[in-house]
Structure 1
Amino acid sequence: MASTPQASSARPWLGLIMLSLVYILNFLDRQILSILAVPIKAEFHLSDAQMGWLGGLAFGLFYSVLAIPAARLADRASRVGVMAAALALWSGFTALCGLTGGFVSLFIARMGVGVGEAGGVAPAYSLIADYFPPRMRARAMAIYSLGIPVGIAAGAWIGGLLASDWRRAFIWVGLAGLVMTAPFLLLVKEPARQKPAVAMPSLAGVAASAFSRPAFWLISIGAGSASLVGYGLMFWLPAYLVRSAGFDLVHASRFIAGVTLIGGVAGMLLGGALADRLGGARKGAYALIPAIAFILSAGFYVLAVMVKAPSFAFWLFVIPQALGLMWFGPLLTAVQHLGPPAARSQVSALFLLILNLIGLGLGPYAFGKLSDLLTPAFGAEALKYAFLAGLGFYILAAILLTIAAARLGKDWSD
């Protein structure tokens, strides 16, 4: 049997707070490039497609693939130790981004950030699943996932303030992560583990168990399709606001910080609460809640990019941002039950591999490439039409998750 949570010794709420703080740094370091894309593109004379490579594949490839061996190590050894080492590594490479001299060196530094962050998420999912009982897991996962909107908002705000010296922005946020490493090791406790009744399955065994369940594939590809939209929109939103809405970079950074913080926090908490309330009676609710949210989000994003008044546009962006992030609590909880309980970190890493290769690896590049292709026809408005075309992946995600909802009850394991 899997490890049993030891709430009193593991201090679950303190652990959750620290894990969330590290996740904020994770997304701050990951996403600050988007707000700094305007000055970086100008200094290095890059195309939108090249900026998309920096924001997507340079980070996403190693982040996705190396998450699997990092997760296997975390299932065998200390998850806290793996995460602390990952935090130090990605923070160091973030600081190095500020010392680069061109596209190639920045690409390599971003690859280093991805290598470090490979060990920073799947072990956290596993820790949270052991910290909290099943009836609280979706809410706990949603609270942890608040690191995404808070981290993106912090990256936008800090990036906007330091955009005139983008190198200093990378160095400062990288040093902040290095300083955080020691407190994380001191305050986050590993839940006591019972010896499994059977030996831990091999990676091939874990993959075979997860891959044999249709719900795993449907959820992974559905979440990846939605993440393609999410990463693509958030990476290019600063440039869109500057080119199409007439914002300066500081105003754009504040707009994005507000949209992400208000919408993201509301959406994640709502998604987790609904999943805990409805998922106990019907497992399919874990997939159906995000499916409905993605359909609604696509409609509101169409309105948001077409409206001209900035104050009105703000709330039209907040609503789909909230809807588009409701999936984290429900789907992350479901994934914990689609493989061997003793190998939760590895099941999470397999899920993240598929999700991030699609979403993070392709999202920023796909939107940037679409913008380049549409520029001869639409000029400065090309990003707007790239956004509208990309929203089709939200519809695809909703279809896949609706099918997954019918399978979850059969594929679920405790």
Structure 2
Amino acid sequence: MSTQASAKPDPNRNTVLVMLLVVYIFNFVDRQILSILAAPIQEDLQLDDGEMGLLGGFAFALLYSTVAVPLAALADRTSRSWVIAISLAAWSGFTALCGLAQNFWHIFLARLGVGIGEAGGVAPSYALIGDYFPSEQRARALSFYSLGIPLGSGLGVMLGGYIASTVDWRVAFFTVGLLGVAIVPIFKLLVRDKQKPKVSADNPSTVAPMPALKETAGVLARKKSFWFLSFGAAMSSMLGYGIAFWLPSLLIRSFGFDLVQASQFFGAILLLGGVVGVLAGGVLADRLGGRDRAFYAWVPGVAFFLGAPLFAAGITSAEWQIAFVLFLLPQALAYIWLGPVLSAIQHLVVPAARSTASALFLLINNLIGLGGGIYALGAVSDFLTPTYGDEALRYSMLYSLVLYGGAALLMALAGPALRKDWVAE
């Protein structure tokens, strides 16, 4: 039995996990609110689908993905909780500034700021969870943290749609941004870093040396499982982020919904399907992964394989009632990968390098998935508009489902590699 597994659990770990979840909810409220506000923003600022895709994807992902690596290295060497707190204040402030935009470039620059701020939030949070929870509980803990994605996305969609329909889309940005700033001092009061690990019992006063960024990158580069997991997750994220951003617009254009109806429909799918999928992924990974490490990749691979045809059925459905059920099932499957893959990434390096390893994974996942997916679906929709008119977005989503096939294949390959690359604690 590992030392960590046998050690008495930290009494504050659940408080830390809940506060990290709250911050992650704000992360995705700020991120996802743009999707439900796309229609009024496009009308007010005269933006096409390609420009909107840049705002939702590339403008955010460019600095979010790249700045995350040095910020994660800084968190590993200084204080993970302080980096998260400062990042929360930064991205919330820039979210509020989005409400002041008067043209494309104003909101583009504000979204860049949101991306810079959120760059310092996720990877250090993964590492803190790795510090507080033992290996055999880590996938479930990371899954609980990852509930911030469906909860934040669902709340962002519902809150944004309500505020935009009753007041103005700008007020929606002001509201969520200022709320995020308000919780910064509460977070810092309740969340503390774990003590740095000791080198050995013979030298208890010396903390373990922190691997350099170059050293951690070199370790990961030599592990096939890292590449399979990263690019498999990136391919799934291209589709996941793309559908999450553009589905409200599809509901308005192809199903005749108004803004509030679209926000309620999509928010319910995110909350119901997302929560079930995230939790199921963590439980399955911890149970099956204890028998064979390969299941940390195989569980997501099966989910992607099953999710593609279900998404296709929902996209091509003509009745919104049927579409709701058909979207609900693949939405759950789309979130299953989070706990297993994030836990596996934590086990590819020594504990001191967890933030950096997570950031390098997120660099690939978000630069390709978030940066490319939203823009690609919007650009393909523009390209198909002369042929399909208002239905172009529906066909853009449909053609993009091939990405799940590629993701499933890469996860299948990652399984055997994980058996060799896993770092025990």
TM (normalized to structure 2)?
A: 0.95
Per the alignment, residue 181 of structure 2 pairs with 178
Residue deviations 1:32-58, cap 9 Å, x none? 000000000011111101000000011
1:108 aligns with 2:109: yes
Check conservation: 1:10, 1:190, Cα contact below 8 A: no
Per the alignment, residue 354 of structure 2 pairs with 344
Code of the residue aligned with 2:157 in structure 1: it is A
Distance 1:410 1:373 in 2: 45
Pairing 1:1-400 to 2, within 5 Å after superposition: 11-164=12-165, 165-196=168-199, 199-400=209-410
Check conservation: 2:303, 2:333, Cα contact below 8 A: yes
Alpha-carbon distance, 1:337 to partner: 1.1
Distance 2:173 2:145 in 1: 24
Out of 208-217 and 196-205, give the one that drifted further. 196-205
Distance 1:135 1:154 in 2: 31
Check conservation: 2:89, 2:180, Cα contact below 8 A: yes
Q: Structure 2 stretches of 5 or more lacking a match?
A: 201-207
Alpha-carbon distance, 1:312 to partner: 1.5
Code of the residue aligned with 1:119 in structure 2: it is G
Alpha-carbon distance, 1:31 to partner: 1.0
Alpha-carbon distance, 1:194 to partner: 2.1
Distance 1:190 1:9 in 2: 12
- Distance change (3 Å), C-alpha of 1:205 and 1:10: farther
Code of the residue aligned with 1:71 in structure 2: it is A
Q: Structure 1 stretches of 5 or more lacking a match?
A: none
Code of the residue aligned with 1:147 in structure 2: it is G
Distance 1:21 1:151 in 2: 9
Out of 1-10 and 69-78, give the one that drifted further. 1-10
Runs of 4+ in 1 over 4 A off after TM superposition: 1-10
Alignment identity in percent?
A: 52
Distance 1:96 1:54 in 2: 14
Alpha-carbon distance, 1:8 to partner: 5.7
Check conservation: 1:5, 1:131, Cα contact below 8 A: no
Code of the residue aligned with 1:188 in structure 2: it is V
Check conservation: 1:10, 1:189, Cα contact below 8 A: no
Code of the residue aligned with 2:383 in structure 1: it is L
3-state secondary structure, aligned to 2:47: coil
Distance 2:280 2:186 in 1: 30
- Distance change (3 Å), C-alpha of 1:45 and 1:125: same
Check conservation: 1:206, 1:340, Cα contact below 8 A: no
Alpha-carbon distance, 1:262 to partner: 0.2
- Distance change (3 Å), C-alpha of 1:172 and 1:6: farther
Residue deviations 1:248-296, cap 9 Å, x none? 1110000011000000000010110000100011000000000000011
Distance 2:94 2:8 in 1: 35
Check conservation: 2:4, 2:134, Cα contact below 8 A: no
Code of the residue aligned with 1:104 in structure 2: it is W
Check conservation: 2:80, 2:124, Cα contact below 8 A: yes
Distance 2:33 2:56 in 1: 10
3-state secondary structure, aligned to 2:283: helix
Check conservation: 2:305, 2:408, Cα contact below 8 A: yes
Check conservation: 2:130, 2:351, Cα contact below 8 A: no
- Distance change (3 Å), C-alpha of 1:196 and 1:380: farther
Residue deviations 1:37-82, cap 9 Å, x none? 0000011111101000000011001000010111011101111111
- Distance change (3 Å), C-alpha of 1:364 and 1:298: same
3-state secondary structure, aligned to 1:56: helix
Residue deviations 1:101-145, cap 9 Å, x none? 110010000000000000000000001011111111110000000
- Distance change (3 Å), C-alpha of 1:6 and 1:93: farther
Residue deviations 1:327-348, cap 9 Å, x none? 0000000000112321000000
Check conservation: 2:5, 2:136, Cα contact below 8 A: no
TM (normalized to structure 1)?
A: 0.98
- Distance change (3 Å), C-alpha of 1:101 and 1:138: same
Check conservation: 1:271, 1:289, Cα contact below 8 A: yes
Alpha-carbon distance, 1:189 to partner: 2.1
Code of the residue aligned with 1:203 in structure 2: it is L
- Distance change (3 Å), C-alpha of 1:251 and 1:50: same
Code of the residue aligned with 2:314 in structure 1: it is A
- Distance change (3 Å), C-alpha of 1:6 and 1:177: farther
Check conservation: 1:128, 1:137, Cα contact below 8 A: yes
Distance 2:148 2:396 in 1: 27
Distance 1:216 1:159 in 2: 36
Once superposed, what is the RMSD of the aligned Cα atoms?
1.6
Residue deviations 1:296-318, cap 9 Å, x none? 11010011011111112111111
- Distance change (3 Å), C-alpha of 1:275 and 1:9: closer
